[in-house]
């Protein structure tokens, strides 16, 4: 009788959410202006990226992964919301500008539902570390968009102005008045990321790490200067690779590496065809050619994503919200149109099909191209 009661109790406990497999952690690393051919897994010979090379060997490359716009602000709005920029009024048009500048009146409307908010509803700790660029008014900042905490620069590192110096912000407090050309910024982001992972290793977390690198002006850390074959640009790419290594070391040290999905990508293509590499693609940042829109993407989750694989499915930053929501047991918003698709069947190796019939290439409010199929 006692054994029967014991077995019944065990069965009951196993049925409880807390006793089931822990929800996975998510880390999304979003580089700035990193070109398609700038890292080893996508063919770079100028930049040594051993950590990203290993990540690709242990995970999946998405060779046809797209941004929704070839510049910063619109691209980031899509990652956050799963929507094309125009759908959430983030194609930006303040005096015909394509990105937000300091003290802009516009920003990501708090009524939009972000990936951070979806995951927060599932009990996730959330933090954004790095370049936000979706509005610097308090209502537009990360802490109003589902993130528990924020540390970083609200916009691009070239937007220092006499009237509005480039600030480093923690939550909503400016902790440094001007960090223009700060060569320690990647190290600072990495240190904050490591702290966040350690502090939340016993519960599910979502870390969004939008690096300032490799946006102009180029400011690699001192110990990385002169280490690449490609000047300051390559040095900074290699510092990003080092940063990724620190994240993986921390995940392993905390015993959560196998329960963490890590996605690495870029907001758009490289700025110049001679600075950074979008090869073998044509074009660059600011254009709707493939070199401006298609970006490198590597996804790793040991034991869940088949190691050493590659997919040519038509995927996008749009897909991050619905995919992470599905994996976490949450729901994609149903009260609005979400353009992104759940691509977990692709990442898990169970499907090779395109998740969408067509993909739209926007520049501001103009539809400039459409891709359908291969």
Q: 175-188 burial by CB neighbour count: b if 16+ within 10 A, else e?
A: eeeebbebbebbbb
> What DSSP string runs through 338-358?
------HHHHTTS--S-SSS-
309-311: strand order across its sheet: 173-176, 168-170, 149-152, 125-129, 205-210, 25-31, 260-266, 298-300, 60-62, 309-311
Kindly state the tokens that stand for 217: 């002006």
From CA 75, how far away is CA 295, in angstroms rounded? 11
Kindly name the residue from 133, 211, 215, 354 that is annotated as catalytic.
133
Across-strand partners of 294? Answer: 66
Give the count of beta carbons closer than 10 Å to the beta carbon of residue 330.
21
Instruction: Check if 133 is active-site.
Output: yes
By CB neighbour count within 10 A (0-12 exposed, 13-18 middle, 19+ buried), where does 363 fall?
A: buried
> Which residue's structure tokens are 């149903």?
334
CA dihedral of residues 155, 156, 160, 164 (deg, nearest 10): -10
Across-strand partners of 263? Answer: 28, 299
What contacts 163, CB < 8 A, 6 or more positions away? none
Indicate if the alpha-carbon torsion angle 137, 187, 195, 245 is positive or negative: positive
Instruction: Check if 128 is active-site.
Output: no
Which among 362, 313, 281, 282 is positioned nearest to 71, based on CA atoms?
362
Kindly name the residue from 31, 47, 69, 72 that is annotated as catalytic.
72
Q: How far apart, in Å, are the Cα atoms of 6 and each of 10, 15, 97, 315? A: 6, 14, 67, 48
Kindly state the tokens that stand for 81: 């919301």
Kindly state the tokens that stand for 131: 């370049």
Residues noted as catalytic: 72, 133
């Amino acid at each position: 009788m006692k054994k029967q009661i014991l077995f019944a109790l065990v069965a009951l406990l196993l049925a409880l959410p807390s006793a089931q497999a822990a929800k996975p952690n998510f880390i999304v690393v979003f580089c700035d202006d990193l070109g398609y051919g700038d890292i080893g897994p996508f063919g770079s010979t100028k930049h040594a990226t051993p950590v990203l090379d290993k990540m690709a060997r242990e995970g999946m490359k998405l060779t046809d992964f797209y941004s929704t716009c070839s510049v910063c602000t619109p691209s980031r709005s899509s990652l956050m919301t799963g929507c094309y920029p125009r759908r959430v009024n983030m194609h930006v048009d303040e005096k015909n500008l394509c990105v937000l500048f300091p003290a802009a009146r516009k920003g990501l409307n708090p009524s939009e539902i972000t990936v951070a908010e979806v995951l927060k509803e599932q009990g996730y700790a959330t933090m954004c570390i790095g370049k936000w660029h979706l509005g610097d008014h308090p209502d537009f900042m990360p802490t109003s968009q589902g993130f528990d905490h924020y540390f970083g620069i609200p916009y691009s590192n070239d937007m220092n102005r006499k009237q509005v110096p480039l600030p480093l912000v923690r939550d909503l407090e400016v902790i440094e008045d001007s960090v223009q050309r700060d060569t320690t910024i990647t190290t600072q982001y990495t240190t904050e990321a490591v702290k966040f992972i350690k502090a939340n290793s016993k519960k599910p977390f979502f870390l969004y790490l939008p690096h300032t690198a490799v946006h102009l002006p180029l400011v690699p850390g001192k110990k990385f200067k002169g280490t690449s074959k490609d000047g300051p640009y390559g040095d900074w790419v290699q510092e990003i690779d080092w940063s990724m290594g620190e994240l993986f070391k921390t995940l392993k040290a905390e015993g959560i590496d196998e329960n963490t999905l890590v996605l690495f990508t870029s907001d758009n293509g490289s700025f110049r065809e001679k600075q950074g590499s979008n090869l073998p693609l044509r074009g660059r940042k600011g254009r709707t050619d493939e070199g401006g829109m298609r970006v490198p993407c590597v996804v790793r989750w040991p034991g869940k994503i088949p190691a050493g694989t590659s997919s040519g499915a038509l995927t996008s930053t749009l897909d991050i919200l619905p995919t992470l929501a599905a994996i976490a047991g949450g729901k994609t918003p149903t009260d609005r149109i979400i353009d992104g698709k759940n691509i977990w069947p692709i990442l898990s190796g169970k499907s090779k099909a395109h998740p969408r019939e067509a993909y739209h290439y926007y520049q501001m409010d103009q539809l400039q191209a459409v891709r359908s199929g291969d």
